[in-house]
Structures are given as structure tokens and as C-alpha cells.
Amino acid sequence: MKKSLFLFVSVFILCSCEHNVLVDESIVNSSEKMVLNFTYKDEFYTSDYVMVNDTTAVFGDSKVGEFYNGLGENPELVTVVNVDGSFSIYDNIKAMEDAVKYTPTLKADNDLTINRLYVTIYEDSKLKGKSANFELSGAMSYNVNNLNSFYNDRGTYYTNFNDKISSMKWSCDVVPYPWGGSRLVMGMVTFYQDTDYEGKSLSFSEVTINKRSSEIHYFGSLPFPGGGNWGDRISSMKISYFGH
């Protein structure tokens, strides 16, 4: 439980075949080997790992594991999960935004723009347990500074989600691009370790005009920089669009 656009860490479950952990249906446990691929300051790193007792990531390449966990000493570390499932890691939000300015625009196979984003967070893995829903339309972003007590964009009141998010599903609606305003081509959901958008952050950016839905079944399978995993570590969040 507990921009403009970029493609950068593939996390895969390795069993009889490879599955992307973002959408995998099988139960993640300590016997399943996964692979972490990430970039940091233009350098690429990769290692397999297993999650022991659902709390500790043990890396096959100890040097990569040491380096990854060492990054966790930075309290403002930003991790972005990209369209291909890979991680891009930055020292802070400004470093991420500066890097994104020079990345290629997402190539679309259509003349569409995102009209609406739908996000559901869940207390348990595999999209189970207590949930909260968001529907972003019109406004460019929606922020929740404390998941212990909040209203969604439709005025529904929720409580007790602080440090209790384990899975998420999200999707978008698209409409023909009117050719005149900003074309919205990608959504982003960012989770923060602490309230008021403080601490380390984890962003998902895989819902686009080309890929219109995604499910993240196991936050607990995503290694947390510094040790442990991202399950039950989230206290605030932001939902937004990006375009060109």
C-alpha cells in the first residue's frame, strides 16, 4: 500500500517472459527478478534486482545499486517514469524542466489534442481498495497538497490517503486539434514524498495522444532512491498536461 516531451528506466518483470511492470497483471514478490534502467546526467545505468520482503531492493549489480541509493541523499531528487517505462533522474525540478526544453517534441500519428485526463489512485496494489478519482478538464493542472484530507476537482471529499497509495490507473480523451491554441499531447501525474509538494518526487508521463491509458499496479515494485520502494510513501500530488 503504503516536458516539451521526453522518452528516457525500463522496469520489467522477468519470469518466463518480460512484462512491463507498469501494466503487469501478475503478483510482484521477492522471488521475481526485475530490471532497473535509468539515466542520470546523460549517463545510462542498468541492473536487475529483487524486492525482498516487499521492502528492500537487492541489486544484481551492487555498484549500480549503491549509486542509485546514493542519489537518495538528495531530498529534492526527481524521478520521471517515461513512455517506455524507463526512469530519468534529475537533481531537482528546475534541472528536469531545463532538460526538457531541449528534448524532441513527441511525434504524433494524428491531428489530435488531449481534452480530458482521468486519474484514479488506490490504497492497495492491483487497483484495489479505497480509491479517489480526478477528472482534469479545462484547467491545465490540479494539485493536492495533503492527501490526508482533500477535495478532488469535482468537489468530492476524501481522507486518509497520506502514505497509503499503492497503485493507479489513468487515461485521456482526445479531440481534433483546432489549430490555433496549444496542442496538449501528454499528461503527467507527479507524486511527492511529503506534503506541500516537498521531498523526492515520482512522475508518470506515459499517457499521451498516442497511448491513451496506463495502469501502475505496484508502486511497491519501484525502488525508492535511498532504500525501500515507492509504496506507502506519497503525501501530495499534481496532475497536469504538457503540449507545444
Q: Using CA atoms, how far apart are residues 53 and 3, in angstroms rounded to an integer?
A: 35
Task: Enter the pTM of the model.
Answer: 0.82
| Residue 78 predicted with pLDDT over 90 | yes
CB burial string 194-229: b at 16+ within 10 A, e below = beebebbbbbbbbbbbeeeebbbbbbbbbbbbeebb
Q: How many helices (H) and strands (E) does the chain have?
A: 2, 17
At residue 65, the pLDDT reads 95
What is the rounded CA–CA span in Å between residue 198 and residue 75? 8
Give the single-character DSSP code of 62: H
Q: How far apart are CA 206 and CA 44, in angstroms?
A: 20
Q: In the predicted model, is pLDDT for residue 14 greater than 90? A: no
Assigned C-alpha cell, 91: 537533481
Q: Is the pLDDT of residue 101 over 60?
A: no
**CA–CA gap between residue 43 and residue 18 (Å, rounded):** 24
Q: Which amino acid, 219?
A: F
What pLDDT, on a 0 to 100 scale, did the predictor assign at position 30? 43
- Sheet arrangement for strand 112-124: 128-136, 112-124, 167-176, 213-216
Average pLDDT over all residues of the chain: 82
| Mean local confidence (pLDDT), 109-130 | 90
Task: Give the residue from 164, 172, 163, 168 showing the smallest Cα distance to 127.
Answer: 168
Q: Which domains, from first to last, does the chain contain?
A: 1-103+110-244 (2.60.20.10)
Residue 215 has pLDDT above 70, yes or no: yes
The alpha carbon of residue 68 and the mean position of all alpha carbons in its chain are separated, in whole angstroms, by 17
Between CA 107 and CA 116 the distance in angstroms is 20
pLDDT band at 156 (very low <50, low <70, confident <90, very high): very high
Tens digits of residue pLDDT in 174-184: 888 877 667 78
Cα separation, 9 vs 46, whole angstroms: 8
Q: Average pLDDT in the 149-172 region? A: 95
Cα–Cα distance measured from residue 85 to residue 90, given in angstroms and rounded to the nearest whole number: 16
Query: Would you mind telling me the total number of residues written for the chain in this entry?
Result: 244
Say what the pLDDT of residue 230 is: 94
Name 71's bridge partners.
none
pLDDT for the residue numbered 173: 92
pLDDT for 56 equals 83
pLDDT tens for each residue of 19-56: 333 333 333 344 588 999 999 999 999 999 998 876 78
**pLDDT value at 188 more than 60:** yes
Q: Which of 3-17, 125-139, 147-161, 229-243 has the lowest mean pLDDT?
A: 3-17
Residue 105: what pLDDT? 52
Cell, residue 203: 512522475
H or E element in which residue 65 lies: helix 62-71
